[in-house]
Amino acid sequence: MSKLTAKIKHEFMEMLPPTIYFFVILHIVAIMRALINRGYDVTLPTSVSVTIAALILGKSVLIANMLPFINRFPRKPLIWNIGWKTAIYTLVALIVHYLEHLYEYWKEAPSLAAANQKLLADLNWPHFWAIQILLVTLVASYCVVAELVRVIGRDKFMAMFFGPMPPKPAGQAAG
């Protein structure tokens, strides 16, 4: 396997857990939003946009984890890094959530500024903040698990969570 192929595989495997997690939770959020707003099912376009958002958030987590300031408190109790990462990821989720609504208004408005003004006037703020609170809770859950994996190691975590894993072939590095 070439170095480029190995690097792409490594990046993909790093991106996979947060992407799957966000794929599931964003669909839960979409279903809850649909139930709150109309009581209807989640449509295919909604599911596609949620999938794209999950891919973006998965890649965002991967990029954020490369930043030098993301693992700011590695020697302190886990709650420090969990709180820090939750705050950063929540800020990103808030921006994405707001932009998602802004995009819907922008399709109908003559300009981005007009769309933003209409959004600020029309948005059902209690629903928006209810969804944001749910996202904070789910992001915090992700950060708890990610920090546990970081501290105890992926293999040990997987063995603790799913049971003993089969041994790796000789010559393959532990992850």
Asked if the structure places residue 17 within a domain, the reply is yes
> What is the mean predicted confidence (pLDDT) over 91-114?
85
Asked if the structure places residue 175 within a domain, the reply is no
Q: What is the pLDDT of residue 73?
A: 84
pLDDT, tens digit (0-9, with 9 covering 90-100), for 27-58: 887 777 777 766 655 565 667 777 777 777 77
Reply yes or no on whether the pLDDT at 174 is more than 60.
no
Reply yes or no on whether the pLDDT at 74 is more than 90.
no
Q: What is the 3-state secondary structure (H, E, C) of the chain?
A: CCHHHHHHHHHHHHHHHHHHHHHHHHHHHHHHHHHHHCCCCCCHHHHHHHHHHHHHHHHHHHHHHHCCCCCCCCCCCHHHHHHHHHHHHHHHHHHHHHHHHHHHHHCCCCCHHHHHHHHHHHCCHHHHHHHHHHHHHHHHHHHHHHHHHHHHCHHHHHHHHHCCCCCCCCCCCCC
More confident residue, 166 or 41: 166
More confident residue, 65 or 84: 84
Domain range for 101 is 3-162
Asked if the structure places residue 134 within a domain, the reply is yes
pLDDT, tens digit (0-9, with 9 covering 90-100), for 9-24: 888 888 888 888 888 8
Q: How many domains does the chain have?
A: 1
CA atoms of 35 and 31, how far apart (whole Å): 6
Q: Which pLDDT band holds residue 70 (cuts at 50, 70, 90)?
A: confident
Q: What is the pLDDT of residue 164?
A: 81
Percent of the chain predicted with pLDDT > 90: 13
Asked if the structure places residue 65 within a domain, the reply is yes
- In a 13 Å sphere around the CA of 159, the CA atoms on its Cβ side amount to 11
Asked if the structure places residue 171 within a domain, the reply is no
C-alpha closest to that of 56 among 82, 19, 28, 17: 19
Q: What is the pLDDT of residue 134?
A: 82
Computed over every residue of the chain, the mean pLDDT equals 81
Asked if the structure places residue 173 within a domain, the reply is no
> What is the mean predicted confidence (pLDDT) over 2-15?
84
Q: Which pLDDT band holds residue 128 (cuts at 50, 70, 90)?
A: confident
